[in-house]
């Protein structure tokens, strides 16, 4: 992960997120690279994408020399800061994939994402990683007529593509209340294809599992540039048959890659552990993940230790794709998140907030994630998850392992393989575009709350981003 001066310079990693602060042991960085290195595969980025890629490569071909190069510590980026949703959500909609590549491609992508949820749980269990994996499903609460109308349209589109009620269903107020008691709920979209996890435990445990297989992991090793067969670091040059870019929201810190992905911040908070009486009033007995269907996304989960971890978009995009530690905490945004949580669940009004954090996620120009391998150049990549990366990164790791080893599998024929998004516009146009999109989503939510009708501007934005 290139591009920032992180908490290591401030004396530790506990303040990265609630997930890092609640690890059983403090995070201590592994030694940095201090010499030139020759390997078969150099993976740049020690988050979920990079770690899963290294893990599956070594499982498929133990003879490969694989090194992971991480600017801070494994899981420091979005992998250790996210909402802990291991879901079947893919940033590009089924409808979009069907329009561009056909219904069969959309169905294959959906099946692959659903299988990835289970694969994360299976692999974590096989490696003895206690990441609090609990497949309780997900509930998107519909609060207001505009959200309900949009959900009905989404469900009709899903049914037209062959998605049955066992995979996605619309339930009424009574069934919604049985799952989660959220103020103003008119119903909910439900799916079983989602698990809650402790992402810090998964990232740190996965790093250990990869090392057991023989992966060399160099932390505090910032890569400044990737070129065919080379990864440049301050500690030495890494020469490799293949260099994999797995840097997600931090890609802009690589020389020549500033316009590849826009780093858009998402912020989170965690409450103090809640008493059982409060949980009786809220629900989420199976640790379902939850959200509502607003445009400016919010997301939450019930943690294994009885907290709510809750997050959302709304933090500003920073000019020239800048990434700095002080952008992780924006008091006004965190205050809005706390107010939104109390709005959803009135029993939480005034609840103690123990942790506040955030970080950037990667957004491609066409909002469509991709994974690929340019065999001639010896360069591979994966990312652009737009915030839905926990299980997608696992799928990326397995797909890259197949691509790099030449395995002929269904994964290498999925809709996102080999896709190349055009770069974002240069500044100031990038700043104006991303900031305008965030403003439109926020404004649309306010319009829908007042009118009860879907906002036209948000519908236009959905078309513009290919949803």
User: What does the pLDDT read at residue 456?
Assistant: 62
pLDDT digit string (tens) for 209-222?
Answer: 999 999 999 999 99
d(CA 288, CA 281): 15
* Per-residue pLDDT at 421 exceeds 80: yes
* Domain match, 407 and 446 both: no
User: What does the pLDDT read at residue 458?
Assistant: 52
* Domain match, 435 and 395 both: no
pLDDT digit string (tens) for 116-144?
Answer: 999 999 999 999 999 999 999 999 999 99
Least confident of 269-283, 387-401, 435-449: 435-449
* Per-residue pLDDT at 391 exceeds 90: yes
User: What does the pLDDT read at residue 2?
Assistant: 38
Count structural domains, the chain. Answer: 2
Is residue 419, in this structure, part of any structural domain at all? Answer: no
* Per-residue pLDDT at 442 exceeds 60: yes
Is residue 55, in this structure, part of any structural domain at all? Answer: yes
Q: Residue 336 is encoded by which pair of tokens?
A: 């809005």
Mean pLDDT over each residue of the chain, to the nearest integer? 93
* Domain match, 403 and 460 both: no
Q: What is the model's pTM?
A: 0.94
* Domain match, 401 and 431 both: no
Q: What is the mean pLDDT of residues 90-98?
A: 97
Dihedral angle computed from the Cα positions of residues 236, 383, 361 and 385, in that order, rounded to the nearest 10 degrees? -170
Q: What is the mean pLDDT of residues 347-366?
A: 97
* Per-residue pLDDT at 115 exceeds 60: yes
**Confidence at 448, pLDDT banded by 50, 70, 90:** confident
Is residue 392, in this structure, part of any structural domain at all? Answer: yes
* Domain match, 73 and 27 both: yes
* Domain match, 15 and 78 both: yes
CB 15 within 8 A of CB 7: yes
* Per-residue pLDDT at 3 exceeds 50: no
**Confidence at 7, pLDDT banded by 50, 70, 90:** very low
For residue 455, the enclosing domain spans 426-467
Is residue 27, in this structure, part of any structural domain at all? Answer: yes
* Domain match, 405 and 431 both: no
**Confidence at 463, pLDDT banded by 50, 70, 90:** very low
Is residue 150, in this structure, part of any structural domain at all? Answer: no
* Domain match, 37 and 78 both: yes
């Amino acid at each position: 992960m290139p591009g920032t001066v992180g908490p290591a310079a401030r004396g530790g990693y506990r303040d990265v997120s609630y997930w890092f602060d609640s690890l059983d042991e403090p995070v201590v960085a592994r030694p940095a690279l201090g010499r030139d290195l020759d390997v078969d595969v150099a993976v740049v980025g020690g988050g979920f994408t990079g770690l899963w890629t290294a893990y599956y490569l070594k499982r498929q071909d133990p003879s490969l020399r694989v090194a992971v190069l991480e600017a801070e510590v494994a899981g420091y980026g979005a992998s250790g800061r996210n909402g802990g949703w291991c879901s079947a959500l893919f940033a590009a909609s089924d409808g979009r994939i069907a329009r561009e590549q056909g219904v069969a491609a959309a169905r294959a992508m959906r099946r692959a994402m659903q299988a990835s949820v289970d694969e994360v749980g299976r692999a974590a269990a096989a490696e003895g990683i206690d990441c609090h994996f609990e497949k309780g499903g997900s509930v998107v609460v519909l609060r207001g007529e505009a959200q309900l109308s949009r959900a009905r349209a989404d469900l009709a589109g899903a049914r037209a593509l062959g998605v049955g009620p066992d995979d996605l269903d619309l339930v009424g107020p009574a069934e919604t209340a049985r799952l989660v008691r959220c103020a103003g709920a008119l119903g909910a979209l439900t799916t079983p294809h989602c698990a809650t996890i402790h992402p810090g435990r998964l990232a740190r445990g996965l790093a250990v599992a990869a090392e057991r297989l023989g992966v060399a992991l160099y932390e505090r090793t910032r890569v400044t540039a990737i070129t065919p067969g080379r990864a440049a670091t301050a500690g030495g040059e890494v020469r490799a048959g293949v260099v994999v870019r797995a840097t997600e929201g931090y890609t802009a810190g690589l020389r020549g890659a500033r316009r590849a992905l826009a780093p858009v911040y998402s912020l989170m908070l965690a409450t103090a552990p809640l008493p059982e009486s409060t949980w009786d009033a809220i629900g989420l007995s199976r640790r379902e993940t939850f959200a509502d269907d607003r445009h400016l996304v919010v997301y939450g989960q019930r943690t294994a230790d009885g907290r709510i971890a809750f997050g959302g978009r709304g933090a500003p995009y920073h000019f020239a794709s800048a990434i700095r530690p002080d952008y992780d905490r924006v008091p006004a945004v965190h205050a809005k998140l706390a107010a939104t949580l109390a709005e959803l669940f009135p029993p939480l009004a005034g609840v103690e907030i123990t942790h506040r954090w955030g970080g950037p996620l990667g957004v491609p120009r066409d909002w469509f994630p991709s994974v690929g391998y340019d065999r001639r150049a010896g360069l591979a990549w994966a990312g652009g998850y737009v915030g839905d990366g926990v299980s997608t990164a696992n799928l990326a790791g397995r797909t890259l392992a197949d691509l790099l080893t030449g395995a002929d599998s269904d994964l290498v024929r999925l809709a996102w393989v080999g896709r190349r998004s055009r770069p974002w516009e240069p500044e100031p146009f990038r700043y104006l575009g991303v900031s305008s999109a965030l403003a439109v989503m926020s404004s649309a939510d306010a319009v829908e709350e007042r009118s009860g009708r879907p906002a036209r501007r948000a519908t236009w934005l959905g078309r513009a981003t290919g949803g």
